[in-house]
Amino acid sequence: MTRGTGRGGGSAAPRSVDVARLAGVSQKTVSRVFNDEPYVSADVRRRVLEAAEQLGYRLNNAARALASGRTRSIGVVTLGTALYGPATLLMGVERVVRDTGYALRVVNTMEGDPAGMAGAVDSLLDQGVDGIVISEPIDEPGGDVSVRVGVPVLVINAPSPVAAPTVLTAGGGVDLMARAATEHLLDLGHATVHHLAGPRRWYAAQDRLEGWRAALASHGREVPPVVGGDWSAASGYAAGHELAADPAVTAVFAANDDMAIGLIRALTEAGRRVPEDVSVVGFDDIPVAGFVTPPLTTVRQPFDAVAQEGLKRLVHAIENPQADPLPASNAPIDLVVRSSTAPPPPRTTPGRARRAATRPGQGAGI
């Protein structure tokens, strides 16, 4: 269908009355369709939408905001970072918000700024948003927020830093995903699993550390010292040299894929084969995880599903303030098993090794 330029092909913007005339319905019916109200037949809804498309009609959200008391906008507070997890989650939120018909307003915070959260929330409230999404993955020292928010709030993968009449959470269960990754290595026969952790201030790093420890404790296994990284492949590479020097290390769970990739590089350079000598599991399933050598076993994070469900519940809370919140569901655990994990190498004793080196007919003096 060809998009029109307004009434009579002129420059004036089309109005709802023009849509009603072309669709053969009342102006009130047009309003019902665009407000997604019930009791409109599928045929009438289709005719109205096709007429609006033909005329190039755009709903006047400013006028509707005056009538309803809502701006039909959702604010997002997010850490300003290019790291895969937060950036991918923000993209998922952006897609879902567009699909709901709400406008999106984003305020970035910076790591190391304890007051940044309060300022970001105040900025969004000043813009009159109808709801707020908080995707702030860091526990900033001195960053406790006493802001009271009068609109529904959705907090993703973190405790709520604000007080609000409706606080929803999404993205939980990361500790269970980390536990599944650790148990995969234990099920392969490894005596214990070492952990390459992310920065301790990150809630994601805390949850993955907790899941790793819980898995080892439930199986009665030794809990090795934690090796720390900063989410980067370079920090994984540095940790890999440290872990490669310990011959008892046969399995490592890394808190993200980038560190796992750096770790594998260091192990390989040190002569420790992956997975024949050391098995490695990552976390996130970044786009290149299946194309490194060896392809990386990892936990796939359901970023799109978390955004979809969280925003659905937030919009419901905005539009139905007197109703009970929609229930949350547990995120699925999706362990993607590739070629970086295998059973541990067979154990040898010094005596057995000497006997293997002096087989009959091959020893000295024979």
pLDDT at 348: 52
Query: In whole angstroms, what is the distance from residue 242 CA to residue 267 CA?
Result: 9
Q: How confident is the model at residue 109 (pLDDT cuts 50, 70, 90)?
A: confident
Q: How many CB atoms lie within 10 A of CB 168?
A: 23
pLDDT at 132 exceeding the cut of 80: yes
* Residue for token pair 């699909």: 99
**pLDDT digit string, tens, across residues 170-193:** 988 999 999 999 999 999 999 999
Local confidence band at 9 (pLDDT 50, 70, 90 cut-offs): very low
Higher pLDDT, 280 or 71: 280
Strands 167-170, 194-197: pairing kind: unpaired
Least reliable range by pLDDT among 64-68, 90-94, 358-362? 358-362
**Separation between Cα atoms, residue 17 and residue 20, nearest integer Å:** 5
Q: What is the distance in angstroms between the CA of the first residue and the CA of the last residue of the chain? A: 93
Q: Binning pLDDT at 50, 70 and 90, where does residue 349 land?
A: very low
CA-nearest of 103, 92, 98 to 64 is 103
Residue 365: pLDDT above 50? no
Instruction: Give the residue with greater pLDDT, 53 vs 357.
Output: 53
CA angle 15, 316, 321 (to 5 degrees): 95
Global pTM reads 0.76
Task: Assess whether pLDDT exceeds 50 at residue 160.
Answer: yes
How far is the C-alpha of 63 from the C-alpha of 129, rounded, in Å?
Answer: 15
Strand ranges (E), the chain = 73-79, 103-109, 131-135, 153-156, 167-170, 194-197, 227-228, 251-254, 279-284, 297-300, 334-336
The per-residue pLDDT of the chain, averaged, comes to 85
pLDDT tens digits, one per residue of 275-320: 999 999 999 999 999 999 999 999 999 999 999 999 999 999 999 9
Q: Does residue 152 contact residue 133 with C-beta atoms inside 8 Å?
A: no
SS3 content of the chain, % helix, strand, coil (to 5): 40, 15, 45
For the CA atoms of the chain, what is the radius of gyration?
Answer: 28
Q: Which amino acid is at 366?
A: I
